[in-house]
Chains A and B, each alone.
Chain A
Amino acid sequence: MSLINRRSFLATAAAASAALSAPMVLAQGRPKVIVIGGGAGGATAARYIAKDSDGAIDVTLIEPTRQYYTCFFSNLYLGGFWEYENLGHSYGTLASEYGINVVHDWAVGVDRDAKTVSLAGGHTLPYDRLIIAPGIDFVDGSVPGWDISAQARMPHAYKAGSQTQLLKHQVESMREGGTFAMVAPPNPYRCPPGPYERVSMVAHVLKERNPTAKILILDPKANFSKQALFEDGWSRHYDGMIERIGPDFGGGNVEVRPEAMEVVIDGEVQAVDVCNVIPAQKAGRIAHLAGVTDEGGWAPVTPTDMRSRVDDSIFVLGDSSNQGAMPKSGFSANSQAKVAANNVRADLTGSRVFPARYSNTCWSLIGTDDGIKVGASYEPGTDQIESVSSFISAVGEDAGLRQRTYEESIGWYEGITADIFG
């Protein structure tokens, strides 16, 4: 990109966004990092690189939405435990306090030879290091009868925002005694306990508003995350309301008919009132366009630094990465981002590299004041990130501990969102 093009881009972008200001004009000669995706992985990485390099690195964050709604805690919004506004976060602090150039646009291409990223708006930005953290996309055709055009009738609500609002509205306005169906995803997918926490939250709403309603989970997996804890909680809070059909009974052979509001389970047609379809998942689109994904649809990375196995100048974070034992979660992405940020800075400024340390904890809410958690710490293994120790809540814990666990999850939400968005 020539200087003139760059300046004209700056002028346009500055007009469009107050976020762009002095730091980028002064950026001549500084090494450039582009981060694609402003979620738990990308925004954390951008913030840590900018913060710890004290202006020595020019950081650009590309994220299409101005207001980012976290997927984590969106189930609590469905259940009425969290306000929608409190899921939303803006990028103002990253721009004003950390000097990050926040560009609200879609990244639509990566030229790895020229080391540039092209944007839907027509601009092309150069990078020295690129961080790809676009989250998930859905695998076309994984649920027969469903594609993205059906998301208004059968929402996925697996990228938070208007989809989450739509699903909440559908649940709350469901006819008396109706059926809520969930088509659960196959592994691997974002937030392993997420679908089951969601079922808990929907059950909580229905128990209050529509107690004769039923919940049907159609699940291609034989087992799921925190299964014993959820099933114990469901029998205590929502006895008889929730039925799960696993793969042995056709839960893996499901077709949906959005127009008719029907699901077909192993050939049996059933009418439903609300249908939450969570399709099979793969890395976000830009990871595929950049050519850093494998045949499984995820981007393989080295366990010591989250660096792409395909390209040394690229790091892939969070849900899109294929890293080993860590679950796809906001906590994991945030943890991985700090390791990558440390290595990106070392690449570009020669700062100290510290050994990689990763961790994850997933809190879930089953009912009022009934919180559970699972977590582990991780280290780089020979080929993959490996778990070194773990813990999980126990069935039969006393109510006080469950309440503290829930309160702790709220503290965690405040903590991690401050760590991501500044």
Chain B
Amino acid sequence: MHRFGLILIATLAGVLAAPAIAQTQIRAEALGDPESGQTVFLRDCAFCHQIGSDARNGVGPQLNRIYDRGAGSIDGFNYSPGLRRMGVDGLVWTYETLDAYIANPRALVSGTRMSYRGLRDEQERHDLLAYLRAYSDQPQNIPESAPTARPTLPELSTDTLQIVGDPEYGEYLSGECITCHQRSGADQGIPSIVGWFEEDFVVALHAYKQGLRPHPVMQMMASRLDDEQIAALAAYFASLNE
């Protein structure tokens, strides 16, 4: 549900302030394979957790409708203080948080009682999460709803978008970009970044920074650029012609 709220807010912002590009766009993505996920569930989870029509709390809580459920929120289940505290602090089980928890429970929730060493295999986690989803989320067959729907554009405040970049600073910072992205706009193997609209440039770099765009070099480069620096780069590259 919170995703719909987000779209609404973003749309309002788009109406009130200018750039519609700031909206968080939602796109459905395939999760893992639920059949393989069942195998993982039976192997790693089923000793403690039940799922399905007769599921009850056991050693661990039942896992029906786990998506979008607040952490530690089933009445009557004896959660660890750590998990309960995270729930109070606002931890909600989403695709991302479940993925992190299953990968390494203690890294996400200090003092959790889930005595599971963690599932390091990314594909197995995706499969398991797809399996859990089959017992979760209403309405579960709408692809645009969580957790299959993932944002592809970053969440940016209008303040961030309104920063006026310093092109001289941008030119200095561009030294890091120009090593790979050619100043001439040539784009063999590596895309051109010359002559973009500033807003597109800002949104793209924030998308790397927030991990929505996947390239590891770009994620690393963007991770240490602050809002001012991104605006400066956008201003500089927008000023160049191919």
Using a CB–CB distance below 8 Å, which chain A residues touch chain B? 48, 52, 331, 334-335, 338, 342, 352, 354, 357, 359, 361, 373, 375-377, 379, 388-391, 407-412, 414-416, 418-419
- Shortest A226–chain B CB gap in Å is 14
A414 to B185, CA, bound (A): 11
Verify if B143 is at the interface (C-beta below 8 Å from A). Answer: no
A391 to B179, CA, bound (A): 18
Quick check: A418 and B175 within 8 Å, CB to CB? no
Residues of B171-211 contacting chain A, CB below 8 A: 171-173, 175-176, 178-184, 186-190
- When the two chains form the complex, which single residue of B175, B190, B224 contacts A411, counting CB atoms closer than 8 Å? B190
Quick check: B178 and A415 within 8 Å, CB to CB? yes
A331 to B181, CA, bound (A): 13
Verify if B76 is at the interface (C-beta below 8 Å from A). Answer: no
Q: Which residue of B lies closest to A411 (CB)?
A: B189
- Shortest A420–chain B CB gap in Å is 9
A390 to B183, CA, bound (A): 25
- When the two chains form the complex, which single residue of A335, A357, A388 contacts B173, counting CB atoms closer than 8 Å? A357
Q: Which residue of B lies closest to A406 (CB)?
A: B189
Q: Among the listed stretches B40-48, B105-113, B214-222, which one makes contact with chain A, having 4 or more residues with CB under 8 Å of it?
A: B214-222
List 7 A-B pairs, Cβ < 8 Å. A335-B175, A338-B172, A354-B172, A359-B179, A376-B220, A407-B188, A411-B187
Quick check: A415 and B220 within 8 Å, CB to CB? no
Verify if B29 is at the interface (C-beta below 8 Å from A). Answer: no
A418 to B180, CA, bound (A): 9
- When the two chains form the complex, which single residue of A52, A410, A415 contacts B181, counting CB atoms closer than 8 Å? A415
Q: Which residue of B lies closest to A331 (CB)?
A: B179
A361 to B218, CA, bound (A): 11
> Which residues on the B side are within 8 Å of A48 (C-beta)?
175
5 smallest CB-CB distances across A and B, nearest first, come from A411-B189, A411-B190, A338-B175, A391-B216, A407-B189
A331 to B186, CA, bound (A): 19
A390 to B224, CA, bound (A): 12
Quick check: A334 and B220 within 8 Å, CB to CB? no
Q: A389-B224, A415-B178, A418-B184 are in contact. List 19 more A-B contacts (CB 8 A).
A: A52-B171, A352-B172, A354-B173, A359-B179, A359-B220, A359-B221, A361-B217, A377-B221, A377-B223, A390-B220, A391-B217, A407-B188, A411-B190, A412-B190, A414-B188, A414-B189, A415-B180, A418-B182, A419-B183
Quick check: A357 and B217 within 8 Å, CB to CB? no
Verify if B35 is at the interface (C-beta below 8 Å from A). Answer: no
> Which residues on the A side are within 8 Å of B168 (C-beta)?
352
Quick check: B169 and A412 within 8 Å, CB to CB? no
Quick check: B224 and A415 within 8 Å, CB to CB? no
A326 to B179, CA, bound (A): 16
Q: Which residue of B lies closest to A407 (CB)?
A: B189
Q: Which residue of A lies closest to B176 (CB)?
A: A359
Interface residue total, chain B, C-beta cutoff 8 A: 26
Quick check: A410 and B223 within 8 Å, CB to CB? no
A296 to B187, CA, bound (A): 42
- Shortest A190–chain B CB gap in Å is 18
> Which residues on the B side are within 8 Å of A373 (C-beta)?
217
> Which residues on the B side are within 8 Å of A407 (C-beta)?
188-189
> Which residues on the B side are within 8 Å of A412 (C-beta)?
179-180, 189-190
Q: Which residue of B lies closest to A330 (CB)?
A: B179
> Which residues on the A side are within 8 Å of B221 (C-beta)?
359, 377
Quick check: B216 and A418 within 8 Å, CB to CB? no
Quick check: A411 and B188 within 8 Å, CB to CB? yes
Quick check: A419 and B188 within 8 Å, CB to CB? no
> Which residues on the B side are within 8 Å of A354 (C-beta)?
169, 172-173
Quick check: B179 and A419 within 8 Å, CB to CB? yes
- Shortest A305–chain B CB gap in Å is 13
> Which residues on the A side are within 8 Å of B169 (C-beta)?
354
A354 to B217, CA, bound (A): 22
Residues of B5-43 contacting chain A, CB below 8 A: none
A342 to B173, CA, bound (A): 11
A409 to B45, CA, bound (A): 43
Quick check: B189 and A410 within 8 Å, CB to CB? yes
> Which residues on the B side are within 8 Å of A414 (C-beta)?
182, 186, 188-189
Known: A389-B223, A408-B190. A335 touches B217 (CB 8 A): no
A412 to B173, CA, bound (A): 18
A52 to B178, CA, bound (A): 15
> Which residues on the B side are within 8 Å of A335 (C-beta)?
175-176, 179
Quick check: A375 and B220 within 8 Å, CB to CB? yes
A352 to B173, CA, bound (A): 13
> Which residues on the A side are within 8 Å of B224 (C-beta)?
357, 377, 379, 388-389
- Shortest A189–chain B CB gap in Å is 22
Quick check: A377 and B220 within 8 Å, CB to CB? yes
Q: Which residue of A lies closest to B188 (CB)?
A: A411
> Which residues on the A side are within 8 Å of B187 (C-beta)?
411
> Which residues on the B side are within 8 Å of A389 (C-beta)?
220, 223-224
- Shortest B89–chain A CB gap in Å is 27
Quick check: A418 and B183 within 8 Å, CB to CB? yes
- Shortest B66–chain A CB gap in Å is 29
Known: A354-B172, A389-B220, A390-B220. A416 touches B179 (CB 8 A): yes
- Shortest B180–chain A CB gap in Å is 5
A415 to B179, CA, bound (A): 6
Residues of B95-129 contacting chain A, CB below 8 A: none
Known: A354-B169, A410-B188. A416 touches B180 (CB 8 A): yes
> Which residues on the B side are within 8 Å of A418 (C-beta)?
182-184, 186
A52 to B236, CA, bound (A): 14
Q: Which residue of A lies closest to B179 (CB)?
A: A416
> Which residues on the B side are within 8 Å of A331 (C-beta)?
179
A180 to B184, CA, bound (A): 42
Q: Which residue of A lies closest to B174 (CB)?
A: A338
